[in-house]
Structure formats: structure tokens, C-alpha cells
Amino acid sequence: MSTDTVHALDLTPRQTAISIAIIGVLFFIFGFVSWANAILIPYFKIGCELTYFEAYLVTFAFYISYLLFSLPAAHLLNRTGFKQGMMIGFWVMALGAFIFIPAAMTRTYGIFLGGLFTLGAGLAILQTAANPYITVLGPKETAARRISIMGICNKGAGILAPLLFAAAVFRVTDTDLFNRLATMAAGEKAVVLDELIRRVIVPYACVGTVLMVLGFLVRVSPLPEIDTEHESEEVAEANADKTSIWQFPHLILGAVGIFLHVGASVIAVDTIIPYAQSMGLTLLEAKVFPSYTLAAMITGYLLGIALIPRFISQVTALRLCTALGVILSLLIVCVHLPVQFLSHQADLSLWFVVLLGFANSLTWAGVWPLALDGLGRFTKIGASVMIMGLCGNAIIPLGYGWIADRFGVQNAYWIILPCYLYLLYYATIGHKKREW
């Protein structure tokens, strides 16, 4: 760690504001790159002729890297410090974006997945640094408010990403083109799909270039190093007999909660386009639904900022959100009612998927402070364990795709019900456990 390491609580208000602003930019980048997957899934499904299960390998390849790289990321940050580690994370992400170029030139799905895996590896480094940063930049009682601000940055980018990606790669005539694919001769179809898939080259070349530049900028930014190695007297005494993060049940249970939360969250966003298409909506009409879901999530963040901790505690907000998730999960699979809303003719259950965004909004913000509470010198390794939980984004959507191929896209939403039931358990009981 560098010699200018400081305790977050010792920062001046101006330093804190600057630090939060810089971390907010990072969360915007996280969101833009991550939530573009919502449009990549149906895009690759058409362009590379995939099943639902194969298409959801997009999320698997992207997020499984969190499982593999989170612990190495913690060791990297220990060696380099936070800022230099973030720079490396941005450069790894840039490499992943550039891998899309040869993948598009050859229309090779496996190379695309390699690019997504590399993007995820870079994000694992950045997330391992950024999440403890925002957690300790102030009192733990208001951590949910700060994380909610980061969530607005993240999901705001998520609203833009599918729309900008769709604008960059889709044409107004594509709906007719997609309808004719099934009747095309093999040679003609290959030419059309080659042209379609190569439309990602320019957008991802631009993304890679921007990520390279951001790596340089974050390295020279005024963002301070934070010290997670030294403990208060109270925390040191409580952790005196601790030799491993496995001796913190509330952390391990929280990491499981993050695994289930992010899996359910990505299902709410990344499956909604195919679900809307199953009701007869075209891809060009359905592309806006991830933005609706993320807008519902931002609404929840804004309420969290306004209400926590003045009117409700972050634990109460977590309990309300997880209970709402249980209710919405049941409504999605049980309700069948055609409705006209916002100029869309679709089943009411589609709008319950949109509302999952609201249910998911304060879950991440609620779980993180509870899981990292009292870790002291174990904070970095604890944060990396929490980031490993993001592999839920890789595994749970694959389960959704497997069920969707066999039992239909609506029945596949049964997979998220146990996720919310566990999260409700953690919000009420699990986060209090200090011994196994």
C-alpha cells in the first residue's frame, strides 16, 4: 500500500465528495458494460443461431470470472494499492472489448465468450476495490444511502447501454430481415448473419479505447488509498481469536445472499426481452424493457436515499425489498392477463418482471454493510468473497435458460422464488449470526 494511505473516516467533506464522485463514475462504467448483456443475449441468439441455454452463456462467461478472479484481485490490491489495481482492471476490460473484433470478423461465439470472460475479469478487480471503498467512505449506518447513489450511476448506465447498443447495431428494416431468416438458403443466410454480427466491431473498439484512457485517468486521480488493515480497539478485541474469514458466519451467509440476489437481478433484466418476444412483441419493441426494469430499480434507489436512515433503517428496507421479491416471483408465474400499458400489448406478468427492479434495488445496498460489519483486517478478503458471489449472475441465468427450453419462459421464473426466500431469511435472521 502507498504511504499516503488514510482512514476513510478521517477524510474532509471535500475529499469524501470527490472520492464518491470518482467511484460513481466507476459504477457508471460497471453498469454500462454489464447491462449491455441484456441486448447481447438476443443479438447473439440470432446472429450465432443459438438455443436459450447457449445464449445465456453470455452471462455465464461474463460473471464466472468473478468467481475465479475475486481472490486474486484482493491479493493484487494488497500488492499495488487500490488506484494502480483499478488501472490494471480497466486495462483488462479494454482487452476484453478488443477481443470482440476478431470474434465478429469470424462470427465465432466461443471467441465472443472469451471477450466477455476477460471483461468480467477486469470488472472483478474493479468491483473488489470499489465496493469496500464506498462502504467505508462514511458511517456504516448510512452505507446503504451511498451504495444507492452508486446504484443510480450503475443502473442509469444500464438504461442507456441496451438502447445505445441497439441504436448502433440494429436497423429499422431488421424486423423484416429476422422474419425472413428461416426461409433463406444457407449461403445467403450466412452472408446476412456475418454482416449482422460485424456491427459490434465499431462500438466495442470505441469501448476498449475509452477503457484504456480511463485506466490512465484513475491512476492519476486524487482518489485516496484506504486503510483496511488497521482495526479499531473494539473490532481488534472482537477479532482477536479470528484466523480466517470462514469464522464470520454473517459474511459467508451474506456472500450466498449476494450470489442469489445478483442471479435473480440479472434474470429480471436479461430475460425480459425474450419473455416479451414470447408474447408477440418484436425485438425492436422489446428492447426497451430492460430499461423499464432498471428505471424501477433507480426509483427504489431514490427512495432509499430519501428514507434511509431518517425514516427507516437499511435493515428494514432490505426486509421490505426481499419480501416484495417473494410476492412478485409468485405473481410472475401465476398470473395470465393480457393488458395494454405504455403502448405495449403484453401479459401482466411481464410488468411484474419489470417491478422486480424495484424489489432488487436496495438488496445489494442492504446486504453489503451487514456482511462486512466488524471484519476489520479481514475486510479486503471479505470483500473478495462477496464479489465471488457475483458468479450467481453466471449460474442462475443458465438454470433459467435450461428450464425455459424445456418448460417455457414463464415457468422458468420459478427459479428466482427460492432466491428471494433465502434473502428474506438473511434480512431477518442470517445477518445476526456471529457464530456457526
Q: Considering the chain, what is the average pLDDT of its residues?
A: 84
Q: pLDDT category, 148, cuts 50, 70, 90?
A: confident
Which range is least confidently modeled, 38-52, 121-135, 268-282, 289-303? Answer: 121-135
Lowest-confidence range among 65-69, 139-143, 205-209?
139-143
Q: What CA–CA distance (Å, rounded) separates 310 from 212? A: 41
CA angle, 264 as apex, 262 and 265 as ends, to 5°? 60
Query: For the domain that residue 257 is a member of, what is the CATH number?
Result: 1.20.1250.20
pLDDT in tens, 165-180: 888 888 877 778 777 8
Phi then psi for residue 18, to 5 deg, are -65, -45
Categorize the per-residue pLDDT at 1 as very low, low, confident or very high, splitting at 50, 70 and 90: very low
**Burial of 429 from C-beta contacts in 10 A (0-12 / 13-18 / 19+):** exposed
pLDDT at 38 over 90: no
Reported as a pLDDT band with limits 50, 70 and 90, residue 2 is: very low
In a domain, 227, yes or no: no
> Which uninterrupted H or E stretch holds 338?
strand 338-341
Alpha-carbon separation of residue 53 from 45, 58, 66, 403 (angstroms): 10, 10, 20, 9
- Whether 7 is in a domain gets the answer no
User: Does the pLDDT of residue 210 top 60, yes or no?
Assistant: yes
- Give the pLDDT confidence score for residue 40 in this predicted structure: 85
Residue 270, C-alpha cell as written in the block: 436479461
CA-nearest of 98, 97, 96, 76 to 87 is: 76
Can you give the pLDDT at residue 9?
Answer: 42
Structural domains counted in the chain: 1
Of the ranges 36-45, 223-232, 409-418, 427-436, which one carries the lowest mean pLDDT score?
Answer: 223-232
- The per-residue pLDDT for 168 is 84
Of 290, 429, 410, residue with least CA distance to 360: 290
Report pLDDT for 332.
Answer: 96
Coil vs helix vs strand at 309? coil
Cβ atoms < 10 Å from Cβ of 382: 25
Confidence of residue 283 (pLDDT cuts 50, 70, 90): confident
DSSP string covering 259-273: HHHHHHHHHHHHSHH
Domain span holding position 144: 12-220+244-432
Amino acid at 214: L
Q: What is the pLDDT of residue 389?
A: 85
Query: What average pLDDT score do residues 95-119 get?
Result: 94
Is the pLDDT at 7 greater than 70? The verdict is no
Higher local confidence (pLDDT), 309 or 285: 285
Question: What is the C-alpha to C-alpha distance for residues 109 and 100, in angstroms, rounded to an integer?
Answer: 10
- The pLDDT score that the predictor gives to residue 239 is 59
What would the grid cell of residue 404 be?
425455459
Q: What is the C-alpha separation between 86 and 49, in angstroms, rounded?
A: 36
